Amino acid sequence: MVERESVYDFSSRVSEIVNQIKSCGDTIKDKRVVEKVLRCLPSKFDHVAVAIEESKDLSKMTIYELTKSLLAHEQRINRSNKWYLDSGASNHMTGNKDIFVEINPNITSQIILGDGTQRRVERKCIIAVQTKGGNRELITDVLYVPNLSYNLFKYWTTLAREFFGAL
């Protein structure tokens, strides 16, 4: 298995080779295929390979069962590449004008906050956020609400910095 190859693609390749061997009249036991697959995995699968070798009876494990375990592990690896910020609010808003990179002053409206109070929206803006990788990402349609003392975006970015270092 090459580093960037998916478990699904690798499993398909292995199955094709096994089927070719069987079509030539040879027999190959699942145990032998499972052992070879575990040895061919990239290093990012080392801990799962060891766990399977230690906890499972490889003589009873099928290629299908091994593939299921590896797919589950691959999904866990892939879900940790990125995380998404969702405030749960219908609009992002802030009271800090200094963070805007682009402003549309023609937008005015009213919003109702979670506590039932109404606030005036003066502008719709774009803000920039520096990611941990050093990239600059834009968040569009952010509402400027004067005198808004706190917002969920500020809360979540503060929380994210505590856990992840920087966005």
- Partners of 112 in the β-ladder: 118
Cα–Cα–Cα angle for 45, 46, 48, rounded to 5 degrees: 65
76-129 pLDDT, tens per residue? 877 657 455 555 556 777 787 777 888 877 877 888 776 777 888 887 888 887
Cα–Cα distance between 78 and 93 in angstroms, integer?
31
Considering the entire predicted model, what is its pTM? 0.48
Per-domain residue ranges for the chain? 7-79, 93-164
